[in-house]
Amino acid sequence: MPDENPFLCLSETAWVSAGPTNIGIVNFGADVYLIDSGNDKDAGRRLLKALRAKGWKLKAVINTHSNADHIGANAYLQNSTGCEIWAPEVEACFTENPLLEPSFLWGAYPFKELRSKFFEAKACRVNRLINADTQLQGLQFIPLPGHFFNQYGILTDDGVFYLADSLFGEPVLKKYGLPFIYDVEAFRGSIENIKGIDAEYYVPSHGNIVKDISETADLNLSVLSEAEEDILRLLDGGLIFEELLKEFCDLRGIALNPGQYVLVGSTLKSILSYLCNNSKAGYTFKENRMYWKAL
């Protein structure tokens, strides 16, 4: 994509800045709203330069959720332009207090490798909380929980659906083996909800823009189901969590580092919770170790 035209136009009002995290741009005349901001100050600087080249004024960043790769340029853009930051409730707490993300993933105060820009953005001020009743001409705010606590997607009236991290493109799934999931049941429910919503374009934050979301949606559901089946097989004889994590990663060819340890580990724990709550797996304590076993 040429530097002088970094935005892909999808409709009269909706644009995308494609990259590691796809950023939405909704244009209402001279004022524009960003759907997320990218992972750091450099991403924000590039976005702001491109906006100014078009003569557009940034009104607000609408954050779909609070992961660092979605809010990482918030502080730079807010400090540079005075723009507002909008975010869903709960996600707003993480956005204003970004130490919460690595703390949540680690389950305690995080060690230094988890306090990088990939997990801890710069703090910013949230000006407005969004929910399904939020009113903004031309936009609908659609709850898409599952990947994180209170994630929202944004649907424009002319048919562009910004999906956040409610599902992931095939290259991402192949690279990482399993997407990050906080709430397994909600993740499935959001994907089924998306499949029932008509749009001209579907824009995952990590994946290709498509006109038909069904194949990508079914692939995400399949990957999750396969992970559950693998976990239940591995738990046939009973394992402590660290053993399960090793066996699962060996099976999937996942090489752990600090980041993958907390991301894959957190997702496996979410799947264990789902399996436990649905009476498919259970746990016992023996000699101060927590053993998980398929039921």
Tens of pLDDT, residue by residue over 65-94, are 999 999 999 999 999 999 999 999 999 999
* Euclidean distance between CA atoms 286 and 284, whole angstroms: 7
In this predicted structure, what is the pLDDT of residue 24?
98
Q: What is the mean pLDDT of the chain?
A: 96
Lowest mean pLDDT among 81-85, 136-140, 151-155, 186-190: 136-140
Assigned architecture for domain 8-225: 4-Layer Sandwich (3.60)
DSSP three-state, residue 22: coil
Cβ neighbours around 84 below 10 Å, total: 16
Query: Which helix (H) or strand (E) element contains residue 161?
Result: strand 160-164
The CATH classification of domain 226-294, taken from the options 1.10.730.10, 3.40.50.2030, 1.10.10.10, 3.20.20.70? 1.10.10.10
Sequence-separated (6 or more) residues with CB below 8 Å from residue 220: 167, 168, 173, 179, 191
* Euclidean distance between CA atoms 77 and 74, whole angstroms: 5
Domains 8-225 and 226-294 share a fold: no
Buried b or exposed e, range 99-124, using 16+ CB within 10 angstroms = eebbbbbbeeebeeebbeebbbbbeb
What are the φ and ψ backbone dihedral angles of 187, each rounded to 5 degrees?
A: -60, -50
In this predicted structure, what is the pLDDT of residue 114?
98
pLDDT > 90 fraction of the chain, expressed in percent and rounded:
95
Q: Per residue in 218-275, pLDDT tens?
A: 999 999 999 999 999 999 999 999 999 999 999 999 999 999 999 999 999 999 999 9
| Mean pLDDT, range 181-186, rounded to an integer | 98
> What DSSP string runs through 229-256?
HHHHHHGGG-EEHHHHHHHHHHHHTPPP
Q: Per residue in 27-39, pLDDT tens?
A: 988 789 999 999 9
Residue type, 140: Q
* Euclidean distance between CA atoms 223 and 214, whole angstroms: 14
Q: Per residue in 38-51, pLDDT tens?
A: 999 999 999 999 99
* The three-state (H, E, C) secondary structure of 173-198, written as one string: HHHHCCCCCCCHHHHHHHHHHHHCCC
In this predicted structure, what is the pLDDT of residue 5?
56
> What DSSP string runs through 71-87?
HTTHHHHHHHH--EEEE
Residue 4 has pLDDT above 60, yes or no: no
* Euclidean distance between CA atoms 221 and 214, whole angstroms: 11
Sequence-separated (6 or more) residues with CB below 8 Å from residue 80: 44, 48
Place of tokens 């801890």: 120
Annotated domain spans of the chain: 8-225, 226-294
* Euclidean distance between CA atoms 267 and 8, whole angstroms: 33
What tokens appear for 259 in the block? 């980041």
